[in-house]
Amino acid sequence: MTAVICRFCGGSAGSFVLDLGLLPSTGVGRTEPVGAELRVDVRLWLCAECGLVQLPMVAGGADVAGPAAFPDPGVASEVVAWLMANSEPPDTGMVLEIPGPGGRSWSQVLAGRSLRPVTDPAAAADIVIDARFALMCAADQRHALLARARRLRSRGLLVLHFPSLAALLARRRWDQVRPGVNAYYSIPAVVEMLARVGLTARAAQEFPEHGTAAVIAGRTEEEDDSVSRGAERHLRVGVRSVEAYGELQSAVDNETAALRACLKDYEFGEVYGYGVTPRAVALLNRAGLSQSDLAAVVDPSATSRLRRVPGTSIPVVDVAALTRARPRAVVAFGAELLPQARRAASSIEASGGTWLTTTPAGPPEGARR
């Protein structure tokens, strides 16, 4: 087996904890011919030394670039309010916001503080913010975190806001694991990483509605008990336990099997899919499905330019095409899509069609512990 090297600490002791198989590296959004897409082995690896969960960097292997765009978590004002309440940042000073592939700039939210953006590419800042998923996509995690630490003035604060690995694990959101997203942070792993670049995590906070967490760090000895409480909570969920990821693997295996089961009673052309999401792309590729299994997948987004589901021959169509086709069944990729799908294509049931899902319908998962 090829050795894995941790993207942060360089260690090679660790375990693979999730295997999604070969997925198109482009995720959602490209239109290359079938078979022309780069496929990557999407597996999560837990470093036994620093605790960072990551897509492994394989010795001598090419890295994967180009993450899909992230949705805006819509939580900037909440995180900024927490930052202001917990860290006594300066009313005036320089702020550096690291650009990234998702989310909106915090500049408007911070504008009332008289903080000025850093424009000199080498200048230091009083506050450095990484809240747009840039750090988690960095190939070299240590280099990226050091680069942020070096931009801090002596009493400066580094703010990291990131999707929470504990939330991913508790809600079994395996679909958040994607090619090009190289690191998946828990509070204890972030605390460890910060310590190894000479910073102390001063405060930590979770934003459960959004499935994210944030940590404030600086060159200080101060640490409030929100850090240890947050780390303990994440450890209880099992972020450093190989066994805890077994349920995540079961969730994706079960959902792939459920998709195959949805299709088995229907003939060619009778079933459509709903929602060209990263989850749908992963499931359709894992199940090895083609247009002979699923007539088309509906993309409700009017702005989509997709011609087919990445990695497959399955065409992408709009809601109007679905309505005209009057299929016997439509599969929503995840029960949470059902209400939206039913509203968008309300004639399906009226014309005798059935809605199916790849996960059991019911309240959202997340209350496991």
Instruction: Point out which residues bind Zn ion (CB under 5 A).
Output: 6, 8-9, 11, 47, 49-50, 52
The tokens for 242 are 């190989």
Q: What is the rounded CA–CA span in Å between residue 276 and residue 274?
A: 7
CB atoms within 10 A of CB 144: 22
| CB 298, min distance to Zn ion, A | 42
Contact present, 280 and 297 (Cβ < 8 Å): yes
Q: What is the rounded CA–CA span in Å between residue 260 and residue 284?
A: 9
| CB 9, min distance to Zn ion, A | 3
CB closer to Zn ion, 42 vs 57: 57
Contact present, 24 and 311 (Cβ < 8 Å): yes
Pairing of strands 115-117, 57-58: unpaired
Q: What is the rounded CA–CA span in Å between residue 125 and residue 74?
A: 25
| CB 253, min distance to Zn ion, A | 27
| CB 10, min distance to Zn ion, A | 7
| CB 128, min distance to Zn ion, A | 23
Q: What is the rounded CA–CA span in Å between residue 135 and residue 33?
A: 32
Q: What is the rounded CA–CA span in Å between residue 23 and residue 21?
A: 6
Contact present, 67 and 178 (Cβ < 8 Å): yes
CB closer to Zn ion, 11 vs 90: 11
CB closer to Zn ion, 79 vs 187: 187
| CB 269, min distance to Zn ion, A | 49
CB closer to Zn ion, 50 vs 335: 50
| CB 8, min distance to Zn ion, A | 5
Half-sphere exposure of 162 (CA within 13 A, CB side): 26
Closest by CA position to 158, among listed 166, 143, 148: 148
CB closer to Zn ion, 47 vs 248: 47
| CB 206, min distance to Zn ion, A | 23
Radius of gyration of the chain (CA): 22
Contact present, 191 and 201 (Cβ < 8 Å): yes
CB closer to Zn ion, 9 vs 227: 9
CB closer to Zn ion, 50 vs 177: 50
Contacts of residue 332, Cβ cutoff 8 Å, sequence gap at least 6: 273, 274, 275, 338, 341, 355, 356, 357, 358
Q: What is the rounded CA–CA span in Å between residue 119 and residue 77?
A: 23
CB closer to Zn ion, 149 vs 183: 183
